Chain A
Amino acid sequence: MKSHLLLVASRFLSWPFFILSIWILYRGHNLPGGGFIGGLVGASGFLFYDLSGYGRPKQGFFSLKPFSFLTAGLGTAVLSGLPGLLAGKGFMTAFWLPGFKLPLLGSVHLGTPLVFDIGVYLTVIGFILLLADTLAEEEKL
């Protein structure tokens, strides 16, 4: 079933969902949120297009393929573990940059756990999109 209405709406909904998901991803280290939940919310931005029945756009950000997300996500997650190894400590040992203050965000802490979370986030998006693609493909059979 195709819904033109939903297609139009998804153009407006997908970006806010994506930005919301990044916020959820960022706050996740100490508060509810994080890579997994952020990824689910972010993926739902993509899924609006699928639900409309017209499929995802052919170009632009929302046309990225699931495997790009999966590869980038897994790669980022592994990379976040390497600094610990290079420093001669355990794999995935956390390193933090000194905190600094930004308007709007308050005090900002950046470090390898956040990088790992970004990896998880991208992987989850890739996984959900792959799932959606697979199910949609089966539909045609």
Chain B
Amino acid sequence: MNDLMVIAPILLPLMTLILCLGLEMSGKRTGMVSLISVGVTLAVATGLVMRVASGGTLTMAVGGWQPPFGIVIVADLLAALMVWISAFVVLAVMVYGVKGRGHGHQSGHAQVLIQGLLLGVNGSFLTGDLFNLYVWFEVMLISSFVLMVREKGIKQLGGGLIYVILNLLASAMFLCGAGMLYGELGTLNFADMAVKLSAVDDPAFVNTTGSLLFVAFAAKAGLFPFFFWLPASYHRADPALSALFAGLLTKVGVYALLRTFSLVFTDANGFSSDIILYISMATMIVGVLGAVAQYNVRRLLAFHIISQIGYMVAGIAIGTPLALASVIFYTLHHIAVKTCLFLVGGVLEMRTGSPDIRTHGGFYKTDPWLAVGFLIPALSLGGIPPLSGFWAKLNLMQAGVDTKEWLFIGVGLGVGILTLFSMVKIWNESFWKDAPEGMERNSLWPGKPYAAIFGFCCLTLVFSFYGKFVFGLCEDAADALHDPRVYIESVMGGEDK
């Protein structure tokens, strides 16, 4: 039973994917099956978080091959939390509704691909093997590639191509890094690599392979200077899908960075993490400046992802337990908030038929609930107390003070103000000012999008007012990260031998 729970977040989407393929072949609708399956996945993930929080890390050796020889699936608290939030995001996005073109073969296989995306994301979170991570990355990427270009308009193709090519390059870097690591260490298991790398006294080797992997993950996370694909592609996809990408894809990159650079490539193992801090600060600044200049609502939000990723990665570079805990909290909070904002942006776009916020207006009067649905995540993103973004930033800044990273604190606070500024910009343009003449507004939508937005607002409020509880979980997860012995023991010790 132990085992089943660890692998269920991978198996459920996989089986649903096959089931949806089969149903689509006979021309049936798959939306409901897919929705129920994601609901079950969310329930399983909740159970997994509770189990792991009380009973410690769960592992499973795939194929019965014990680590370090076989692939091992590891659910520590960090992985369990990430699996939980990704199931939540997918569920909400499905409630919001993904546009399909009819059913059966005509649907463009949206449900199959979303299940594939969830499969890849969950696999990436749960795997304990570097090469297996590569495989899950590819599963996730190919699903997102196809989702992005499936409407096949030339508009989406251009952005899609940049996205595809950059990610293929990043994958090649990843493989190079993995190959060199294997050549030197003879293992690809995270825990085993951490042990063996600490015995290697060769800074050149550690820094080369570390940088290769860093570049690969950075490209997926959208760090400076590898972020160009992100604002070029996200806003071109269907609103629900772009919300899904915004919530999950970059965060998988952040997770990979968090895992690799807190466990394997640490300062103690001879990797110099200063460069990560500087890159993350550049990311924060460039992202937010890009956002300030934008008037396309979802493009603006896409630039914001970049600047927020900067905060998370800066926390990884600082690397104290408090910093890591706030990174995890920041990631959870950001996934909820950002997906919600993209959904609101999608509603605005759908109802006015234009992504340009200068042509919007008056939504505060006509749709006060939509305005609330925007205001809660926007203020949270800007870091207004007592919302979740404030706690995330406060703790991160506290970690910066502890380690005397004054430059980071200055940048972080300045970027925070600019973030708030561009949120206020959307608020003023779309909601507050009177509707410009000639703005067309479609009649009210059915309630589904509002249900999804409401769900995210509730989640944000939970993160805000039960912040202590959630942050406590994050602290436990971070302690496990900061003291890799726990992870190494539970993987290499393997209770299920």
Q: Footprint of B on A, CB under 8 Å?
A: 65, 67-68, 70-71, 74-75, 78, 84-85, 88-94
8 Å CB contact of A88 from B3, B14, B61, B105: B3
Complex CA–CA separation, A78 to B3 (angstroms): 16
Q: Tell me the nearest residue of chain A to B17, going by C-beta.
A: A74
CB distance from B106 to the nearest CB of A (A): 13
Tell me if A85 and B21 are in contact (CB < 8 A).
Answer: no
In this assembly, does B102 line the interface, its C-beta being within 8 Å of a C-beta of chain A? no
For chain B, the count of residues having a C-beta within 8 Å of the partner chain is 22
A92-B62, A93-B63 are known contacts. Are A85 and B18 too (CB-CB below 8 A)? no
* Inter-chain contacts of B60 with A (CB < 8 A): 90-91
Q: Tell me the nearest residue of chain A to B63, going by C-beta.
A: A92
A67-B25, A70-B21, A71-B25 are known contacts. Are A89 and B14 too (CB-CB below 8 A)? no
A78-B15, A85-B4, A85-B7 are known contacts. Are A90 and B64 too (CB-CB below 8 A)? yes
Q: Tell me the nearest residue of chain A to B21, going by C-beta.
A: A71
Q: Which of B1-53 contact A (CB under 8 A)?
A: 3-4, 7, 11, 14-15, 17-18, 21-22, 24-25
Tell me if B21 and A67 are in contact (CB < 8 A).
Answer: yes
CB distance from B96 to the nearest CB of A (A): 27
Tell me if B62 and A78 are in contact (CB < 8 A).
Answer: no
Tell me if B64 and A89 are in contact (CB < 8 A).
Answer: yes
Tell me if B25 and A65 are in contact (CB < 8 A).
Answer: yes
CB distance from A6 to the nearest CB of B (A): 29
CB distance from B122 to the nearest CB of A (A): 14
Cβ-closest 10 pairs across A and B: A93-B64, A71-B21, A92-B63, A90-B61, A90-B64, A74-B18, A71-B22, A75-B18, A90-B62, A89-B64
Tell me if B18 and A90 are in contact (CB < 8 A).
Answer: no
Complex CA–CA separation, A2 to B163 (angstroms): 38
Tell me if A84 and B63 are in contact (CB < 8 A).
Answer: yes
Complex CA–CA separation, A71 to B20 (angstroms): 9
Q: Tell me the nearest residue of chain B to A84, going by C-beta.
A: B64
CB distance from B297 to the nearest CB of A (A): 33
* Inter-chain contacts of B64 with A (CB < 8 A): 84, 89-90, 92-94
* Inter-chain contacts of B18 with A (CB < 8 A): 71, 74-75, 78
Complex CA–CA separation, A117 to B276 (angstroms): 43
Q: Which of B48-79 contact A (CB under 8 A)?
A: 60-65, 70, 73
* Inter-chain contacts of B7 with A (CB < 8 A): 85, 91
Complex CA–CA separation, A124 to B21 (angstroms): 16
Complex CA–CA separation, A78 to B25 (angstroms): 19
CB distance from B72 to the nearest CB of A (A): 9
Complex CA–CA separation, A116 to B138 (angstroms): 20
* Inter-chain contacts of A88 with B (CB < 8 A): 3
CB distance from A50 to the nearest CB of B (A): 19
Tell me if B63 and A74 are in contact (CB < 8 A).
Answer: no
* Inter-chain contacts of A68 with B (CB < 8 A): 25
* Inter-chain contacts of B63 with A (CB < 8 A): 84, 90-94
* Inter-chain contacts of B25 with A (CB < 8 A): 65, 67-68, 71
* Inter-chain contacts of A93 with B (CB < 8 A): 63-64
Of B3, B60, B64, chain A has the most CB atoms within 10 Å of the CB of: B64
Complex CA–CA separation, A40 to B22 (angstroms): 23
* Inter-chain contacts of B15 with A (CB < 8 A): 78
CB distance from B234 to the nearest CB of A (A): 25
CB distance from A37 to the nearest CB of B (A): 19
* Inter-chain contacts of B61 with A (CB < 8 A): 90
Kindly list 8 other residue pairs between chains A and B, CB separation below 8 angstroms, not including A78-B15, A90-B64: A67-B25, A71-B18, A71-B21, A78-B18, A84-B63, A90-B496, A91-B7, A92-B62
5 contacts between A and B (CB under 8 A): A67-B21, A67-B25, A84-B63, A91-B11, A93-B64
CB distance from B154 to the nearest CB of A (A): 13
* Inter-chain contacts of B24 with A (CB < 8 A): 67
Complex CA–CA separation, A75 to B73 (angstroms): 21
Q: Tell me the nearest residue of chain A to B10, going by C-beta.
A: A91
Of B61, B62, B63, B105, chain A has the most CB atoms within 10 Å of the CB of: B63
Bits for B183-202, please: 1 = Cβ < 8 Å to A, else 0: 00000000000000000000
* Inter-chain contacts of B73 with A (CB < 8 A): 91
* Inter-chain contacts of A94 with B (CB < 8 A): 63-64
Tell me if A78 and B14 are in contact (CB < 8 A).
Answer: yes
Q: Tell me the nearest residue of chain B to A68, going by C-beta.
A: B25
Of A74, A90, A91, chain B has the most CB atoms within 10 Å of the CB of: A90
Of A67, A88, A91, A94, chain B has the most CB atoms within 10 Å of the CB of: A91
Complex CA–CA separation, A68 to B105 (angstroms): 12
Tell me if A90 and B3 are in contact (CB < 8 A).
Answer: yes
Tell me if B3 and A85 are in contact (CB < 8 A).
Answer: yes
Complex CA–CA separation, A94 to B63 (angstroms): 6
